[in-house]
Chain A
Amino acid sequence: MISPVKIWRRQKEIRRILGKKGQVITWTKILAAGAEFKIQAPYPVVLVQLDDGQKVFGQLVDYHQKDLKIGLKVISTLRKVRTGTREDIIVYGVKFKPIK
């Protein structure tokens, strides 16, 4: 079961890093995922240095193959991260999309 309390605690952190611009430091594309993310695979994950200096992980969304590179400029956005059973709450979190 996804713990609503854990999600509630985390949401307070996520709010601070939404809508922020940054640059991809390194990336990978996950093809063999864990149980909770298997349904989404394959998906790219990027490590981003935000313009304010902090570094944040997130999946890359709304991308083309050519976007998968170190140095790509991105912006953080709120997206669905994972779902559990029908009774569970839906987990939202930070993902990144390329700046067009």
Chain B
Amino acid sequence: MVSVAGYYTTQFGELWEKSFSDLVKEALFGLLKSVQKIDKNEIDAIFFSNMLGGVLENNLHTPSKISELLGVNIPIFRIEAACASGGAAFHLAKKYIESGSAKTVIVLGAEKMTDYSPEETTSALISAASGEEQEAGLTFPGLYAMLANFYLQKYHYKEENLAYIAVKNHFHGSLNKKAHFRKRITVKNVLESPYIAFPLKVLDSSPISDGAAAVLLTSDNNILKKLTNKIEILASEVATDSISLARRKDLDSILATKIAAEKAFKTAALAPKEINVAELHDCFSIAEILAMEDLGFWEKGTGGKNILELPTMLGNSGDLVVNTSGGLKASGHPVGATGVKQIGEIYLQLTNQAEERQVKKAHYGLAHNVGGSGGTAVVTILGI
């Protein structure tokens, strides 16, 4: 069994004073310092998650740059699966340990996005969509807006139904010191914010952020014996699907999420109702609604209605709390770091280190990371 035995994240946000290397360095050394009883020479490999370094920053061959920063000569790999890069890197690191190639591995994710104009970053991000979608002038908000428009019409909901997701996640973000946005918002704020791609508005959308996060994975009993805060990886499953929405069978669900979730719940021998805390890929409000349904927490088509009571908000009556970090929406979305932060947040929750946003008696947690408009999905289940 592979355990997660440490986590560190930088502040997420518009970090003008910090470079890509600064963020990577802070996450790596921050992780080693927070775990304390581990030396860098005990790390056997690093799996590095990053999407846009090559596109925006002309920064590739990052493994060798990480080797220089940390002063090690171990295998280091860069993994790219758009916004699911972090989840994919985590999955591969777990498999690497299970294969016997290593005992202790760091999964590191980082992204530097705010040095560029919004249209430059928008263009860079859409590289993760099909050529046909790019030539139609679509953007990522645009693709999710098409899913949102379809969903709202099919199940007779209004834009207001989506807004509650953002309200909940901003509330959680207000409790997370590392979050990009810590301001609470109202449904009215969301509805009055400007459209970026109809029917999605600025406050339905995750921001462009800088940040880095790292988790420590190990199966080494000598290390595990020394550490008190550790959780087990019960399942990590990856699924893919056609990149283009035009080649999908359904537009009211993400098939890759459904497949990965089904496999993950089977491997973990758990049912959705047994999950206490989850970090879901809420790049846009509609994405969390679809994820709640596709992961099996809610019936298909009921998400728009269910969210009105905010059952998944901390302090409310529901059995499952979703996106305590603030989600991508409020915690921020430094693409490569996001999937790693999601796992880190579940680690904090299950080891009772989540401070103000701690969910009581959390035994099982789930992280859901999506690439593009659903071309890749990773579902990870963790437990104590």
A residues at B contact (CB < 8 Å) = 10, 25-38, 40, 43, 45, 47, 55-59, 70, 81-82, 91, 93
Contacts and interface: CB of A to CB of B under 8 A. Distances in A.
A81 B135 CA distance: 7
A14 B198 CA distance: 27
B10 to A, nearest CB: 27
B149 A32 contact: no
B122 A35 contact: yes
Contacts of B133: 57
Q: Is the interface of A mostly helix, strand, loop or mixed?
A: strand
Contacts of A25: 150, 251
A52 B131 CA distance: 22
Contacts of A28: 138, 142, 145-146, 149, 197-200
Nearest to B136: A57
B140 to A, nearest CB: 10
A31 B197 contact: yes
Contacts of B147: 26
A29 B198 contact: yes
B132 interface: yes
A36 B199 CA distance: 22
A51 B196 CA distance: 31
B38 interface: no
B197 A29 contact: yes
A38 B199 CA distance: 19
Interface string B222-263: 000000000000000000000011110001000000000000
A87 to B, nearest CB: 20
23 contacts: A10-B135, A25-B251, A26-B149, A27-B149, A28-B197, A28-B199, A28-B200, A29-B195, A30-B139, A30-B142, A31-B195, A31-B198, A32-B118, A32-B196, A33-B139, A34-B119, A35-B123, A36-B123, A43-B137, A47-B146, A57-B136, A59-B136, A93-B135
Most buried by A among B138, B195, B196: B138
Interface string B94-111: 000000000000000000
Interface in B126-181: 126, 131-133, 135-139, 141-142, 145-147, 149-150, 153
B137 A37 contact: yes
Contacts of B119: 32-35, 38
B54 interface: no
Given A28-B138, A81-B135, 11 more contacts: A26-B146, A26-B251, A28-B146, A28-B199, A29-B197, A30-B138, A31-B194, A32-B196, A47-B146, A57-B133, A70-B150
B120 interface: yes
A40 B196 contact: no
Q: Is the interface of B mostly helix, strand, loop or mixed?
A: helix
A37 B139 CA distance: 10
Contact of A32 (B141, B153, B251): B141
A52 B20 CA distance: 49
A18 to B, nearest CB: 14
Which 6 pairs show the lowest CB-CB distances between chains A and B? Answer: A34-B123, A28-B145, A55-B246, A57-B136, A37-B137, A29-B198
B136 A58 contact: yes
B198 A45 contact: no
B367 to A, nearest CB: 28
Contacts of A93: 135
A59 B246 CA distance: 14
A54 B161 CA distance: 32
Nearest to B129: A57
A53 B192 CA distance: 38
A27 B120 CA distance: 24
Interface string B186-216: 0000000011111110000000000000000
Most buried by A among B118, B122, B126: B122
A47 B142 CA distance: 11
B194 A40 contact: no
Contacts of B149: 26-28, 70
A39 B248 CA distance: 30
Contacts of B142: 28, 30, 45
Contacts of A34: 119, 122-123, 126, 137, 139
A45 B138 contact: yes
Contacts of A81: 135, 137
A5 B132 CA distance: 16
B197 A32 contact: yes
